[in-house]
Amino acid sequence: MRWQGRRQSDNVEDRRGMPVGRLAVGGGLGTIVLLVVVMLLGGDPQALLQQMQPPAGDSAAGPQQVDPAEQPLRDFVSVVLADTEDVWRELFKTQIGRDYRDPKLVLYTGQVESACGFASAAMGPFYCPGDEKVYLDLGFCEELQTKYQAPGDFAVAYVLAHEVGHHVQNLIGYSDRVDEQRGRVSKAKQNELSVRLELQADYLAGVWAHHAERTKKILESGDVEEALGAASAVGDDRLQKQAQGYIVPDSFTHGTSAQRSRWFRLGLQTGDLARAKELFELPEDQL
Ligand SMILES: [Zn+2]
């Protein structure tokens, strides 16, 4: 991706090396918000609940060293975040007729507290609608290459654009609609709704890439393949196969590798924000 020399976002909240405090997250509020937490990987929000206990001890420890080798990556994600701000500000103004509200990007190491509760880096990047922040441990970018075999800077850009996609859903109201239904439907139906929301975030990541390319010529050869590689790597089927050796389609919450790549690609090709609603209109077998 061509990114050097462009604006870096000032919405980056750098908490790397900072100890995780013991700020009490109200049980009620934390739990409600938790249900709508959206992650990149095929995690189960209920499983997340158990991880969301405040970490033991440590809170009195001073800040740790931040790895200076992470600086270029920090600069890169700050530029990508700025690029998402530019694209979504314009699309909100011209196509929705209102102002876009920038999300914050929190960089952290190991563990972090959010309005959705405590989280650990093992969960992967996530977006918390309660505070409108995207949470990213830069170590995950390394893992994309090593653990998920999805190398390349544009793989990282896709991940960030996907999480920002969840923010866009939150602002437009798509996530509310899903949350509303979530309490009233079967587990299988809940998973289906979750898949639709995740594929839509992939689509929105593609829409972002389309407009960033149109206005800034960001793509280098191989970039699209890098993003598609990452989208496939975090498909439910691939992750389940990796973790347990077999797949259980009913338990999918994020969509298969093929679905995730397809929707990212469609967003990239069309750049058409209006078509995002198709994710909630198409029958399940056409996703
Ligand atoms: Zn997601």
pLDDT 10s digits, 77-130:
999 999 999 999 999 999 999 999 999 999 999 888 988 888 888 878 899 999
Ligand 1 centroid from CA 58, angstroms: 30
Ligand 1 centroid from CA 42, angstroms: 8
Ligand 1 centroid from CA 201, angstroms: 6
Ligand 1 centroid from CA 38, angstroms: 5
pLDDT for the residue numbered 121: 84
Question: How would you label 125-163 residue by residue, b for 16+ Cβ within 10 Å and e otherwise?
Answer: bbbbbbeebbbbbbebbeebeeebebebbbbbbbbbbbb
pLDDT for the residue numbered 52: 52
Ligand 1 centroid from CA 43, angstroms: 10
- Planar angle of CA 54, 122, 173, nearest 5 degrees: 80
Ligand 1 centroid from CA 40, angstroms: 4
pLDDT surpassing 90 at residue 54: no
Q: Residue type for 247, please?
A: I
Ligand 1 centroid from CA 61, angstroms: 32
CA dihedral 81, 84, 90, 96 (to 10 degrees): -120
List pLDDT tens digits, range 55-83.
Answer: 555 544 556 778 899 999 999 999 999 99
Confidence of residue 134 (pLDDT cuts 50, 70, 90): very high
Ligand 1 centroid from CA 246, angstroms: 22
Ligand 1 centroid from CA 19, angstroms: 26
Residue at token pair 């999918």: 252
List pLDDT tens digits, range 159-181.
Answer: 999 999 999 999 999 888 888 88
What does the block give as tokens for 150?
A: 């999805």
Ligand 1 centroid from CA 281, angstroms: 19
Across 78-234, the runs of DSSP E, i.e. the strands, are 104-108, 111-114, 117-120, 126-128, 133-137
Ligand 1 centroid from CA 164, angstroms: 9
pLDDT surpassing 90 at residue 152: yes
Ligand 1 centroid from CA 163, angstroms: 6
Instruction: Say which range, 113-122, 194-203, 276-285, has the weakest mean pLDDT.
Output: 113-122
pLDDT for the residue numbered 209: 98
Helix-strand-coil percent breakdown of the chain, rounded to 5?
55, 10, 35
pLDDT for the residue numbered 42: 59
Ligand 1 centroid from CA 206, angstroms: 13
Q: Can you tell me the distance from the alpha carbon of 10 to that of 79, in angstroms, rounded to the nearest whole number?
A: 10
How large is the average pLDDT for residues 227-251?
Answer: 83
pLDDT surpassing 80 at residue 237: yes
List pLDDT tens digits, range 6-52.
Answer: 999 999 999 998 877 644 444 444 443 444 455 666 555 544 544 55
pLDDT for the residue numbered 194: 87
Ligand 1 centroid from CA 41, angstroms: 7
Ligand 1 centroid from CA 199, angstroms: 8
Ligand 1 centroid from CA 276, angstroms: 15
- CA–CA distance from 257 to each of 102, 165, 180, 254, 286 (Å)? 29, 18, 27, 9, 15
* Three-state DSSP class for residue 286: helix
Q: Can you tell me the distance from the alpha carbon of 229 to that of 227, in angstroms, rounded to the nearest whole number?
A: 5
* CB atoms closer than 10 angstroms to residue 70: 17
DSSP 234: T
Residue 31 phi, psi (nearest 5): -70, -40
Ligand 1 centroid from CA 24, angstroms: 26
Q: Specify the pTM.
A: 0.87
List pLDDT tens digits, range 211-229.
Answer: 999 999 999 999 999 999 9
Q: 71-91 and 187-216 are packed helices; what angle lies between their axes, rounded to 10 degrees?
A: 90
Ligand 1 centroid from CA 197, angstroms: 8
